[in-house]
Structure 1
Amino acid sequence: GSAFKPFLYTAAIDNGYLPTDQYLNQPTVEVNEDGRWTPKNYSGRVGGLMTLREALRGSVNLVAVRLISDITPKTVVRYAKAMGISTPLRPFSSLALGSSEVIPLELVSAYGIFANNGVHVKPISILKIEDRNGNLVYQARTQRREVLSSQTTFIMNNLLQDVMNRGTGYNVRGVYKFYHPAGGKTGTTNDNTNAWFIGFTPDIVAGVWVGLDDFQYNLGPNMAGSVAALPFWATFMKTVYDSLNFKRDSFTEVSGIVKLKICNETKQIATNYCPDTYEEIFNINYRPSESCDKHKGPNALRNNRKRQF
């Protein structure tokens, strides 16, 4: 389901796509191994242009499918594999919506990269073994790999925090009152047979899967990840933070990130004449260069063209 989308967005951000890049939230017809495929949004609604930040926040399927067509499914497969996914991934546009199966433990450990400054840590079940006299028989060795730049990781971390603060994961805040810094993503498979929520804080990453082994049955109407899986994640996290004395209450800042004021209408760099603006973060090597071409002043740049797809 949509819990796979962060791999798509990671590939995009790491290859120079911007959080402000816009795609149409409109129907599209794709060709995959089974022939023609017409993806739909979970809500059934469509709209106009959306930024990548807005689309991930709202888990908009149509934007994800258009995005993977640009960066190619094979690129997304390569990133997912590098981030620890070992199961077969079919390189088709439907991969943007999580059409291939993944192992929950691998998915959770991959999300840990976003909280761990781009470093993947292989999960360990047994830390050590001692005999009855306390002698060490076995000591696990932590396997760590840097798989993403700190800049890409920081931006993805921020985008997934936005999902939690304002998007499909908002109930973590609004209903369950978990207010520690956190990011995450919901996921729902076709016909509500499986629901997911994977999320992380500066100290811990956890995932919840709710589903049925027999695909003849489903969880019931409207049982999306935000309804079926998120409550378990939020309840678990509240219990953990009430019980354990975690010290870190913020994610690590990194170098190579710039903040720019963006015009909310054109999604270009705001001028002094833009009436509605917001702040966005960018990799210092991949940032917009064009000023707003609608709200021009005497010294504003002219004849600029905004980046759209």
Structure 2
Amino acid sequence: MRTTKPKLTQQDIRRYNWYIWRTVIAGFVFVGLMIALTIFDIFGQLPSFRDLENPKSNQASEVLSADKKVLGTYYIQNRSNVTYAGLSPNVINALVATEDKRFYDHSGIDFGRSFTIFLHLLIGQKQGGSTITQQLALNLFSERAANPFKRVIQKMQEWVTAVKLERHYTKQEILTMYLNTVDFGAYNTYGIKSAARTYFNTTPDKLTPDQAALLVGMVNGPGIYSPTRHPDNALKRRNLVLNRMEEQGYLSAGQLDEYKQKPIGLDFHPNNHFDGPAPYFRSVLKKELQKLFKEQNINRSDGTPYDLDRDGLKIYTTIDATMQQYAEEAQQQYMRDLQVQFNDHWRGKNLSKSIHNYKLLIQQGMLRSDRYKQLKAQGMTDEDITTNFNTPDKLNLFTWHGDIDTLMKPIDSIVYCKMLLRNALMSMDPTTGYVKAWVGGTNFEHFKYDQVKNGTRQVGSTAKPFTYAVAIDNGYSPCMKINNVPDTIRGYGSGPWCPRSSPSETIPGFITLRQALAHSQNWVTAHVMGEVKPEPVVELIKKMGITSAVPPYPSICLGTFDASVFEMTAAYSVFANHGLWTEPTYILRIEDKNGNVLYTHTPKVVQAMNPQTAYVMTYMLKGVIQDGTGSRLQYKYGLSNPIGGKTGTTQNNSDGWFIGITPQLVTGLWTGCEDRDIAFQSTRLGEGANSALPIFAFYMKKVYANAALGIKKNVDFDAPKNGVSIVMDCNQYNQQQQGTTEVDKKLGF
């Protein structure tokens, strides 16, 4: 028997409608109550207006070159901000079309989208319910909660914060802030500026529609849509974003087809702390900045010290990015060949017998290695560590043709690294003191010790001009002749002293001071030191910025003291700058993330030398290039313009130096091994003219070829305004000397 359902009466319908409406109203009241409680910070404190004005985020500090290029960043999160004007419209269009197509119409919350999310979930479709503004609120002030209840509370907080953001910022500002906070995955890359540089080696204003689509497509899944790890996923996601852009009218159908046919086209440049130009400089700079903040009491408004890795500072430096590139290229160009010369020179020789203190050097190298420290930290005994170092392992080694992975005993890798030549270069403007290029070593990833400022080595014959400068200051002429014979100096605590001079390199007879300096003659230099005495030479060296210990002994005329490339380059700038020592400067100013200037540097200037003496010394130093140890600069490398310089080679060829001066640029170079006991056994190969000068030549040729740098090739050193009383014309000098001799004879002297 079939039963019939009772019909609903009008009263039943009204009663059910009332239940439904009561539920809906209760829901609205509940949501309203929750929002009210959220506004009054019941569920946790919301960002204040001040927080909205200064949202907290770990922002990388940028090191900028003099030509406004980013040399590198200091960061915990590799995040660099960009302004709206610095964004390509393609990025904005891709973002709005994909993440929030009604972005320009809502006030922070898209209620229609928020409620339709439940309908999509019912039919098995996943759709994000958060607007761009809500996502910004989450990115700026919190992390997505895993607990469902906490996530509901967090969603309320996002709504309230999103409305606040919309009230206090324009749509353009919100888009910019959002793009500056997004995580793009690889190597801690945050923000569109870092992402554009990492994935396409470009800037955000130059991103094409397909590039912008790829990056925007990564926003909701930087891992699964990574173009390096999951290129197929990234390509599909990019094309989806392009479809959305076409649907919203940002692309035509023809453009859509064109861009979807393009490959991903990555120009991947993963960021780390040693990538980019001038890594040694940036490493030294970071420590200098931390020291500067402490000494100058440069702090945040709340009194806490600035954090270079988090506070988004901008450090404006004097480094010229183009000249830095030329310096690094010149080093790579020549050091590759010089290492071949060095390896050929040592091939087949028993290192343990040929190198003084060989076993001690290798032992010290092992104890200083990261591998030893790690094994020691793991609790291994020295015996076990020694066994480990003598067991073949997979190692990554530096070579001048690129890093290689090889199977080698770790102890053999110590020997390998000890036999690698190192090199350092610094180039500066002698008038301003601005450092233009800084190459602190051969490869920062493998060898982090900076040899420009932190490393000091014996300076050799590059010290000779200091002694000659004191003589010139005392009225000596470059044309004065001295017999080139041994000259013993007595009366000092070190005992009688007479330098050695290689017979093959000694010019016999009477030679001028200019010839003696040009050909780096030890005996004449020692004679001049005996005349002027060590104390005035030490005093001059200190005035010229050498801070290392320089004992007042006669041997300092041959460079037996240590100094850095930094100090020696600055000292030689005195010759090119009319006797003025200008403090080497590499920091121009420091700004906070809002552009407020925190520090401006003013270099110190000292009158270290008489302008006339400095000018005469430029004439002396040009003789080194025209007819001396640096002459290959002319006959081999074709640099015949006004250049002065001095080569230097230390005992046993441990160190090779060259310092070149021009009116606009002074450049110092050093080459040698990590340990002084390891060196060329031939002076022909180890001398500064062969180990350092060629890098200067390659560098200067590149600099001169680029007229935009303003380093003019045919500019000579200016004479002092008051003229020169010291005779530099040797014919005139000889006539004067002959006339003086004849007068003496007539007077009976």
Bucket of the pairwise TM-score, normalised by the shorter protein:
0.7 to 0.9
Matched, 1:140 2:606: no
Q: Conserved in 2, the CA contact under 8 Å of 1:193 and 1:218? A: yes
The change in CA–CA distance for 1:50 and 1:179 in structure 2 (over 3 A counts) is closer
Structure 2 distance, partners of 1:256, 1:174, is 32
If the length of structure 2 is used for normalisation, what is the TM-score? Answer: 0.35
Matches within 5 A, 1:274-293: 290-291=738-739
Matched, 1:196 2:657: yes
Matches within 5 A, 1:1-16: 1-16=460-475
Matches within 5 A, 1:5-154: 5-31=464-490, 33-42=493-502, 43-45=504-506, 47-154=508-615
Structure 2 distance, partners of 1:216, 1:260, is 42
If the length of structure 1 is used for normalisation, what is the TM-score? Answer: 0.83
Which position in structure 2 is the counterpart of 1:256? 723
Structure 1 distance, partners of 2:514, 2:596, is 52
The change in CA–CA distance for 1:157 and 1:137 in structure 2 (over 3 A counts) is same
Q: Which has the larger radius of gyration?
A: 2
Which position in structure 2 is the counterpart of 1:231? 694
The change in CA–CA distance for 1:234 and 1:263 in structure 2 (over 3 A counts) is same
Q: Conserved in 1, the CA contact under 8 Å of 2:543 and 2:608? A: yes
Matches within 5 A, 1:179-218: 179-218=640-679
Q: Conserved in 1, the CA contact under 8 Å of 2:461 and 2:647? A: yes
Q: Deviations over 1:276-295 (max 9, x none)?
A: xxxxxxxxxxxx565275xx
Report the 3-state secondary structure (helix = DSSP H, G, I; strand = E; otherwise coil) of the residue aligned with 2:562. coil
One-letter code aligned to 1:233: F
Matched, 1:303 2:745: yes
Structure 2 distance, partners of 1:101, 1:200, is 21
Structure 2 distance, partners of 1:292, 1:236, is 47
The change in CA–CA distance for 1:173 and 1:92 in structure 2 (over 3 A counts) is same
Structure 2 distance, partners of 1:46, 1:154, is 26
Q: Conserved in 2, the CA contact under 8 Å of 1:194 and 1:219? A: no
The change in CA–CA distance for 1:77 and 1:139 in structure 2 (over 3 A counts) is same
Report the 3-state secondary structure (helix = DSSP H, G, I; strand = E; otherwise coil) of the residue aligned with 2:652. helix
Q: Deviations over 1:217-256 (max 9, x none)?
A: 1133121111111101111111122222225722212232
The change in CA–CA distance for 1:36 and 1:262 in structure 2 (over 3 A counts) is closer
Which position in structure 2 is the counterpart of 1:268? 734
- Size of the aligned set, in residue pairs, is 279
The change in CA–CA distance for 1:138 and 1:177 in structure 2 (over 3 A counts) is same
More helix by share: 2
Matches within 5 A, 1:149-188: 149-188=610-649
Structure 2 distance, partners of 1:50, 1:180, is 25
The change in CA–CA distance for 1:189 and 1:290 in structure 2 (over 3 A counts) is same
Report the 3-state secondary structure (helix = DSSP H, G, I; strand = E; otherwise coil) of the residue aligned with 1:161. helix
Instruction: Using the TM superposition, give the Cα deviation of residue 46 of structure 1 relative to its aligned residue in structure 2, in angstroms.
Output: 5.0
More strand by share: 1
Q: Residue 245 of structure 1: which of 690, 696, 710 is its match?
A: 710
Structure 1 window deviating more from structure 2 (252-261 vs 72-81): it is: 252-261
Structure 1 distance, partners of 2:623, 2:660, is 12
One-letter code aligned to 2:739: S
Q: Conserved in 2, the CA contact under 8 Å of 1:193 and 1:217? A: yes
The change in CA–CA distance for 1:232 and 1:168 in structure 2 (over 3 A counts) is same
The change in CA–CA distance for 1:67 and 1:145 in structure 2 (over 3 A counts) is same
Report the 3-state secondary structure (helix = DSSP H, G, I; strand = E; otherwise coil) of the residue aligned with 2:700. helix
Q: Deviations over 1:106-165 (max 9, x none)?
A: 111010011111111011222222223333222111211122121111101111111111
Structure 1 window deviating more from structure 2 (42-51 vs 103-112): it is: 42-51
Structure 2 distance, partners of 1:58, 1:183, is 13
Structure 1 window deviating more from structure 2 (33-42 vs 123-132): it is: 33-42
Q: Conserved in 2, the CA contact under 8 Å of 1:85 and 1:107? A: yes
Aligned-residue CA RMSD (Å)? 2.4
Instruction: Using the TM superposition, give the Cα deviation of residue 204 of structure 1 relative to its aligned residue in structure 2, in angstroms.
Output: 0.7
Instruction: Using the TM superposition, give the Cα deviation of residue 90 of structure 1 relative to its aligned residue in structure 2, in angstroms.
Output: 1.6
Structure 2 distance, partners of 1:148, 1:304, is 39
Structure 1 distance, partners of 2:717, 2:699, is 20
How high is the sequence identity, in percent, across the aligned residues? 35
Name segments (4+ residues, structure 1) moved above 6 Å: none
Structure 1 window deviating more from structure 2 (201-210 vs 136-145): it is: 136-145
Structure 2 distance, partners of 1:11, 1:162, is 18
Instruction: Using the TM superposition, give the Cα deviation of residue 215 of structure 1 relative to its aligned residue in structure 2, in angstroms.
Output: 2.0
Larger relative contact order (Cα-Cα within 8 Å, sequence gap ≥ 6): 1
The change in CA–CA distance for 1:154 and 1:304 in structure 2 (over 3 A counts) is farther
The change in CA–CA distance for 1:106 and 1:176 in structure 2 (over 3 A counts) is same
Q: Conserved in 1, the CA contact under 8 Å of 2:655 and 2:676? A: no
Structure 1 window deviating more from structure 2 (245-254 vs 208-217): it is: 245-254
The change in CA–CA distance for 1:149 and 1:44 in structure 2 (over 3 A counts) is closer
Structure 1 distance, partners of 2:639, 2:658, is 15
Q: Conserved in 1, the CA contact under 8 Å of 2:481 and 2:511? A: yes
The change in CA–CA distance for 1:57 and 1:304 in structure 2 (over 3 A counts) is farther
One-letter code aligned to 1:39: P
Report the 3-state secondary structure (helix = DSSP H, G, I; strand = E; otherwise coil) of the residue aligned with 1:107. helix
Report the 3-state secondary structure (helix = DSSP H, G, I; strand = E; otherwise coil) of the residue aligned with 1:237. helix
Instruction: Using the TM superposition, give the Cα deviation of residue 37 of structure 1 relative to its aligned residue in structure 2, in angstroms.
Output: 4.0
Report the 3-state secondary structure (helix = DSSP H, G, I; strand = E; otherwise coil) of the residue aligned with 1:154. helix
Q: Conserved in 2, the CA contact under 8 Å of 1:119 and 1:145? A: yes
Q: Deviations over 1:29-52 (max 9, x none)?
A: 345655444412244535111211
One-letter code aligned to 1:101: D
The change in CA–CA distance for 1:44 and 1:261 in structure 2 (over 3 A counts) is closer
Instruction: Using the TM superposition, give the Cα deviation of residue 196 of structure 1 relative to its aligned residue in structure 2, in angstroms.
Output: 0.3
